[in-house]
């Protein structure tokens, strides 16, 4: 969908990298949720409770809330209550002792800067991908078009993909 500002249209560009949404937290907390993947029923009944960032500003959290809604459905009271609990945990500040939703790349960046490393597990049935793309400005300006194409060429080149991989991102289709 295009957005218009001052006579210029801006559209989402093609994704060139991605990062799956994961549950992150202290390893001892995550072991209680399962092995490599956790089910939503375990995630939502964990103590301390799972937290998510403000879904209006954090794509990994927004994707996780959507995945929870789809996995739990809305046809029973227990599922609606669990989903409501997840939506109500959204906050600006995530407690360090509780499992929380983040992207794999954000966790890698956080762990690179911190002496206290957090673990991660995926979501049962597959983790949704946070796609990375550059917005494309549609203007009657050949220089703008050329600059965008040059940027995309660099992002999608072998060197660009290597840089994204080094920063913890996957390819656009989710493969490593």
pLDDT at 143 over 60: yes
Which residues are paired to 15 by β-bridges?
Answer: 133
Query: What pLDDT shows up at residue 162?
Result: 92
pLDDT digits (tens, 9 = 90+) for 54-90: 777 777 877 777 777 777 666 667 666 666 666 666 6
**Average pLDDT over the chain, rounded to whole?**
79
Q: Which residue has the higher pLDDT, 93 or 62?
A: 62
Query: What pLDDT shows up at residue 2?
Result: 47
pLDDT at 157 over 90: yes
Q: Which of 17-31, 46-60, 113-127, 146-160 has the lowest mean pLDDT?
A: 46-60
Is the overall model pTM greater than 0.85, yes or no?
A: no
- Whole-angstrom distance, CA of residue 73 vs CA of residue 85: 14
79-84 long-range contacts (CB < 8 A, ≥24 apart) are 82/40, 82/41, 82/44, 82/45
């Amino acid at each position: 969908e295009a957005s218009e500002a001052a006579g210029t249209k801006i559209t989402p560009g093609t994704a060139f990298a991605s990062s799956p949404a994961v549950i992150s937290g202290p390893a001892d907390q995550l072991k209680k949720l399962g092995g490599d993947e956790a089910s939503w029923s375990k995630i939502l009944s964990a103590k301390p409770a799972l937290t998510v960032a403000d879904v209006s500003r954090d794509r990994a959290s927004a994707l996780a809330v959507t995945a929870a809604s789809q996995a739990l459905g809305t046809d029973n009271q227990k599922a609606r209550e669990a989903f409501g609990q997840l939506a109500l945990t959204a906050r600006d500040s995530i407690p360090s002792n509780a499992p929380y939703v983040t992207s794999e790349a954000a966790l890698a960046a956080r762990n690179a800067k911190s002496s206290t490393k957090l673990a991660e597990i995926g979501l049962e049935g597959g983790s949704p991908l946070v796609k990375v793309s550059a917005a494309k400005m549609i203007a009657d300006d050949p220089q703008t078009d050329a600059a965008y194409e040059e940027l995309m060429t660099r992002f999608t080149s072998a060197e660009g993909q290597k840089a994204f991989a080094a920063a913890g991102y996957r390819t656009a289709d989710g493969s490593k």
